[in-house]
Each structure stands twice: as structure tokens, then as C-alpha cells.
Amino acid sequence: MRLSFRLIVSLVVAVTLVSILFAFYQVRTDNRTRRTDLEKRAQVLAESLQETVEPLFARGAKANLQRIVERFGNRERLDGVAIYDSDGRPIFTTPKLAGRLGAEPPALDKRVFEGAGWGRFFGADPNEAHVYAVPIHSEAQVVGALAVFHDASYINAQNSELWRDTFTHVLVQMLLIVTITMLMVRWSMERPIARMAQWLHDLRAGATPPNPDLPVEDVLKPLTREVTHLATSLKMARASAEEEARLREAADSLWTAERLRVYQQYALEGSRLFVVSNREPYEHVHRNGAVEVRVPASGLVTAMEPILRACDGTWIAHGASNADHETVDAHDRLRVPPDEPQYTLRRVWLTEEEEERYYYGFANEGLWPLCHIAHTRPIFRSEDWEAYREVNEKFARALLDEMDGVENPTVLVQDYHFALLPRLIKGSRPDARVAIFWHIPWPNPEAFGICPWQRELLEGLLGADLIGFHIQSHCNNFLETIDRTLESRIEWERYAINRGGHITSVHPFPISVDFKESAESSNYHAAALEQSALVRQLGVEADFFGIGVDRLDYTKGIPERFRGVERFLEKYPAYQERFTFVQIGAPSRTHIERYQRLIDEVEAEAERINHRFASRRWKPIVFLKRHHDHHEIEPFYRASDLCLVTSLHDGMNLVAKEYVASRADEAGALILSLFTGASRELQDALIVNPYDTDQLADAIWQALEMDYREKSERMRRMRRIVKQHNIYRWAANLIGAASEIRLELPENARYQSVQSVH
Ligand code: G6P
């Protein structure tokens, strides 16, 4: 307001000064012109009268002279005429002249009597008058003079009028200026400035308003420029502060291989890490006359491999492949990964019979169906149980051998193949911190109770200091099973079991994958290209496709999934010839009859459904029955429109997490069975009951029809979870919990020499 007031005052003063100057100049010029005019008029009149008067004067025609002076008394602005004798005395005068001049006509300048014309203004305003006199000659002698008197007061009157007009104009101009200026200021300055101010205010308050229409007027340009710079700097400063905070936050919450490596050194205080599992991370096989390395299809291997790489520990596993013997050293060890050695793999050899009974028999025909509620009856044979015990002892010996000379080692036993191992190890090496992670579900006590050797299994497990499951409900089932089976004290408030003074803690550790940010996979177009390439490679023409990746296991719900696809095509026929489902299935445990039957069933279902719907260039199901490496699976994940995980029961299911991790483009939908551990974390998946065929069909439809924004929002949230809860965090939590185990060692139980298990 102050600004506009100052602006108006300056404008008014300037305009007034200019107007007055102009008026002054105008008045002066007009005044001069009018006076000159009057002088000229007076001179013309006097000279014309001179010609008339001179003969009359010479003749002494007084009456005529008198008439002439009287006749010139009634002309406008002419006060009168006077005739003087040669002494300068008026002799004839227009009668009204005396009244006008107040007395005698004024004396004339002597130059008139010397023969020259002469004039002047006289008298004060408002009675100013003008006189012009010429000599009267007679015979070349000046005998008198003739003077013409004009009223000159009108000149000043006109000047005053001009001044009045000028002031009126100035006043009107001022009013106009004030009004226009105020309007202009309001419209062209106050409003845009207020807009700019609001914009800056919003930015400062942390909002991200769109750029307003900034004023383009020249006068505001410097301000606009500065404000725009200021806003840009503010935005940049905020963005970098946010980025910094994000990085700081990410550094706090994100686990990487490097962070795990550093952490485990400090958490384990130099104690070395040993992992025991049945399945080895690298298998050497004879193929086409050469030895090939393969990474087996195993969730456990996917999870443990990055930890061993990070910690340079020792992994003890069954050397089950036909070229494994040829690739180890004298101590049955080799450094892996073969092309970039980072940790030690110690292979344990089993006889065929051992493998048959322990692995195929007790572990996979007994415990596997016992723990998975998938309606396949467990088979328990006593010879299998014997072999299971013996193999556990064999592994214990190998492990003790590896741990020889290593003080306070940390042992992470993996899975249902080694339920007896914790007690065997602990018995020989009480200084070892022993944890076992159970990668499959733990059923309720009734279900577990059908195992004839449940007590021995539980006893063996309770040798561990720590038992990990994927989710809390598996922990609860385990504690309830212990409660009903063994003499012990359950400490529910801290989830621990006290059996004969030894404490075993039981906690959930939801396993995960290595979440790698891949620039390549964040490219939406790359995914589209990949899709068309894959579709071409598979020999089908389809606009959409879904993917399923599993070991061919009856717990994975693959026939149920196929029936879901069939129902989907039935229910939503518009997708016929447009949607293809690709199932990658790695044959697994094929010695077991149930697994062979499953493969037959999966193939038959695929064939039946294809037969029902297929056209010349399209079929609904492509079944790729072979083991695919991770790098072969990735393009399928990235190019698919949806991923189907329909396990009938699954401890976690890492395919679901791998799928999410591979979708950096935030496209793709995950359909996830509610019977997987992963469904507890990935709640943005389309959660389904795989036994409900119609629900599966609808979920496929929903995934394909889902608005891109919703799809990417769901994917983004799931990615955040998998990224934060990656495999390194899982390992860090497990190692952290293991390192917190308090060892209560009797003095004589300290480790001294190589122990053996019999
Ligand atoms: C599951 C088990 C693992 C096992 C994997 C593959 O993920 O939890 O222990 O390694 O299946 O099965 P396989 O019998 O081929 O090792």
C-alpha cells in the first residue's frame, strides 16, 4: 500500500509540475501573441484614420473631426480615439474615453510629434489599455497627432482563463492518474506479487505446488527471475536434503552383503561360521563329456548363498552329483563360487542306500508331507529312520572335523534333514553356538504327533540354542508340540524352552532374497521387448502372459493353478487366444513315486487344458519341464503380466519375493496363496486360496484388468518390504540372535581337542 501511495504522489507531483510548466509557457506565448495582435490592429486602424483625418485637420473641419472621434467610440474593445494638437493637448476625444481612462487621455510620447508612430500599454489590471498614436501632417509638417485607445484588459482575462483551465485539467488528470495507477498496481503488480508470495510460502511450507503464472511485465521481470531462481534453489535444497535423509535412513535400514560381512565379524567376535545343509550350493555334473557346474533349485540355497559369500564361512553339504568327487581336494573341500571363490564348501558323501533312506525316505516321504498340509500321507519306515540318524551323525562328524581348532564357532544348521544334529553337536562342542533354521512349516501338535519318532526329533532339535521358523505361527505350533510331548518348561513370554537346564529360544525369521536394484529391469520398454522375444521363443502368440516357477512338488499347487487358468479362460472368454501361462517346473525328488505322479498329473492337466482351448498359433499353457538357472528365469519374471504362487502349504516361498525383486519397472501383479509364509509380509499381492478355483480365475482377471497405477503402487509397497527385509537382514537377525546366546559352560566342558560322535 505504501508503495502504491508513494508511486501515486510522485506521479501527481510530476504531472502537476509538467502541466504548470506547459500552462506557463502557453500563457506567455498567448499573451505575447495577443498583445502583438492588438498593437498591429491599433497601428492599422490609426494609419487608416490618419489618412482620413489629415485633410480634415488641414481644413480645420472641426465638426467632421468631432464626428469621426465619436463614431469610433462604439467598436468592440476600442475605447476611443483622440486627436491632439501640435503641443500634445487633446482637442477631440471620443466621449466615453474620459470615463474609461478616468481623466484626460494620457500624454503622447514626443517621438510622435517628431513624425514617428508610437504605441504602448498602460494602466494596471483590470484597467489595462493600449494606445497607438500617429502624427497628423499638413504640408509635410507635424501639426498634431491621432491616438487610438484599445481596451487591453481582455488579454489578462484570457490569461487567467487559461490558468483556470489548466488547473481544472490538472485536477482531472490527477484523479484519472490516481485511479488508473491504483487499478494498474492492483492488477499488474499486487496480484502477481501476491501469487508469487503464496507460491514461495507453499514451497517453504514443504508443499510442491505447480509453477504459477508468473508476471511477464518488464518491470517485474527481474523480480520474477529472482523468485524463480529462489524457488528452484529451494526445491533443489529440499530434494537434496530429502535424498540425504533417505540415504541416511536407507543406510540405517538397508542390509547389504558388505554390511553383513562387517556386522558378522563384530557380532560373532571372530567366531567362525559353519552352515550345514543337505543340498549343496554348487553341483558338479557330467554333461556331454565335460563337467558342468549347476546351482540347484532350492529356496534354501537361494537364501544361504549370499550369507556364506559375505562371511567366508564353511558350508557342509551332501555331495550328491556325479562329478562332485572329482572337484574336491583331499579334505573333500573346494572354494566356491567356482568362478569367484569366496567361501569353502565341504562335501559329505553318502552311500546310495543312505541317500535313498535318509533323503528320499525319512526326510522327503516322512517329514516333508508331515510338515506340509498338502494331503499327501507321510510314510515312516524304521530303516529310513535308522539311516536318518546315521546320516545326521555322519554330518556331525564332518562338522566337528571342520570346527576342530576353532574356538566358539557358530553353527547354522539348515532344515528338516538335520533335526538330530543340534544335540549331536552341542554334546561334543558345548562352546559352539548352535542354531537351526527350519525352512518348512511346523504343523500343529496333532499332525506332528503321527511321527513315530517325534520325541527323538524334538530332543535332537532342543540341543540347539536357537530354533528359527519363518513365521510366528510355526513357532507357536512348535512350542505347543514340545509342550504336549516332552518334559520341559515353556517360557511363553520370551518364547523359550527350558529342558533339563538348557535353554532353547524359538523365534521367527522370515527368510528373503538378495534384492538387487537393476537399472536394466526398471526399463518398461525393455520389459515389453523381452516379452515379445520370449513369446516368439515359446512359439505362441499372446498379448498377456503369466508365469509360475516351482520345483515340481505337490505342495506347490501346480495342478490347482492350471485349473485356475482353465476356469479363467472359461469365465472370461475374451482372454482366449490372448493369455498364456508359462510354468517353469524343475523336476525334483523324482525317485519318489508321489513326485513322478505329480509330474504326470501336471503334464496331463496342461495337455488337457491346451487341447480344450488351443488354436493354431496359441495355447493357454506352456509347460517348461526342466531346471532353469536364475538368469534364465529373470527375463520371464520381468516380461510377465502376473506371477502365480499357489502353494497348498509353504514355509515362506521365495519365488514370490524373487518376482517382486525383479520388477523394478513396478509392473506385474503377484497372485499369492494365503498358505505361504510370504503372504504375511506381501499383503499387497492378490491373496488367494488355491483350492478355490473360481477365486484363482477371478484373481487372474483382476491382475490383468488392474489399473496401472494400482498395480505399480502395490508392487512399490511390496518392493519396499522385500528390499528392506532382504536376505542380509534375515542373516543378520539370525546371526545377531545366535551371537546373543549365553553359553553356560561347566569348567570341564570347555573345548580341548577333536571330539567325535558315535
Ligand atoms: C525346500 C527345502 C530345502 C530344499 C529345497 C529343495 O526349499 O526347505 O531344504 O533344499 O526345498 O529340495 P531338494 O530336496 O531338492 O533339496
DSSP one-letter string for 584-614: EEE---TTSHHHHHHHHHHHHHHHHHHHHH-
What's at 197, amino acid-wise?
Answer: A
pLDDT category of residue 746 using cuts at 50, 70 and 90: low
Distance 359 CA to ligand 1 centre (A): 10
Q: Which residue lies with its CA nearest to atom 12 of ligand 1?
A: 298
pLDDT at residue 585, rounded to an integer: 97
pLDDT at residue 378, rounded to an integer: 98
On the question of pLDDT at 752 being above 60, the answer is no
On the question of pLDDT at 108 being above 80, the answer is yes
Ligand 1 atom with the smallest distance to the CA of 439 is: 8
Distance 277 CA to ligand 1 centre (A): 9
pLDDT at residue 754, rounded to an integer: 42
Ligand 1 atom with the smallest distance to the CA of 299 is: 7
Nearest CA to 349 among 390, 318, 384? 318
What proportion of the chain, given as a percentage, has pLDDT over 70? 94
More confident residue, 364 or 748: 364
Lowest mean pLDDT among 188-192, 383-387, 472-476, 723-727: 188-192
pLDDT at residue 749, rounded to an integer: 53
Which cell is 149 given?
Answer: 485607445
More confident residue, 222 or 525: 222
On the question of pLDDT at 346 being above 70, the answer is yes
On the question of pLDDT at 431 being above 90, the answer is yes
pLDDT at residue 756, rounded to an integer: 41
For residue 439 and ligand 1, the question of a CB distance below 6 A is answered with yes
Distance 418 CA to ligand 1 centre (A): 12
DSSP one-letter string for 422-489: HHHHHHH-TTSEEEEE--S----HHHHTT-TTHHHHHHHHTTSSEEEESSHHHHHHHHHHHHHHSS-E
Ligand 1 atom with the smallest distance to the CA of 301 is: 10
Residue 507, classed as helix, strand or coil, is: strand
687: Cβ–Cβ under 8 A, 6 or more apart, which residues? 672, 673, 674, 679
Contact 702, 682 (CB under 8 A): no
What whole-number distance in Å separates Cα of residue 333 and Cα of residue 330? 7
On the question of pLDDT at 665 being above 50, the answer is yes
Lowest mean pLDDT among 7-11, 223-227, 241-245, 451-455: 241-245
User: In 185-220, where does DSSP find H-type helix?
Assistant: 191-204
pLDDT category of residue 753 using cuts at 50, 70 and 90: very low
On the question of pLDDT at 723 being above 90, the answer is yes
For residue 415 and ligand 1, the question of a CB distance below 6 A is answered with yes
What proportion of the chain, given as a percentage, has pLDDT over 90? 58
723: Cβ–Cβ under 8 A, 6 or more apart, which residues? 254, 515, 661
Quick: pLDDT tens for 62-93: 888 888 888 877 777 888 898 998 888 888 88
Distance 439 CA to ligand 1 centre (A): 8
On the question of pLDDT at 755 being above 50, the answer is no
Contact 195, 213 (CB under 8 A): yes
> What's the pTM?
0.68
pLDDT at residue 170, rounded to an integer: 83
More confident residue, 530 or 487: 487
Lowest mean pLDDT among 207-216, 503-512, 612-621, 703-712: 207-216
Residue 359, classed as helix, strand or coil, is: helix
Quick: pLDDT tens for 147-169: 998 988 888 888 888 888 888 88
Residue identified by cell 544335540 is 423
pLDDT category of residue 242 using cuts at 50, 70 and 90: confident
pLDDT at residue 299, rounded to an integer: 67
Distance (Å) of CA 626 to CA 257, 291, 296, 599, 629: 30, 19, 11, 11, 10
Residue 540, classed as helix, strand or coil, is: coil
pLDDT at residue 757, rounded to an integer: 43
Q: Which residue lies with its CA nearest to atom 4 of ligand 1?
A: 298
Which cell is 540 given?
Answer: 505362441
For the chain, helix (H) and strand (E) counts, in that order, are 25, 23
For residue 647 and ligand 1, the question of a CB distance below 6 A is answered with no
Residue 333, classed as helix, strand or coil, is: strand
pLDDT at residue 223, rounded to an integer: 82
More confident residue, 582 or 532: 582
pLDDT at residue 165, rounded to an integer: 87
What average pLDDT score do residues 234-249 get?
71
For residue 588 and ligand 1, the question of a CB distance below 6 A is answered with yes
Distance (Å) of CA 520 to CA 363, 374, 525, 634, 635: 41, 39, 10, 11, 11
Quick: pLDDT tens for 274-328: 999 999 999 999 999 999 999 887 767 877 887 788 788 999 999 999 999 999 9
Q: Which residue lies with its CA nearest to atom 11 of ligand 1?
A: 298
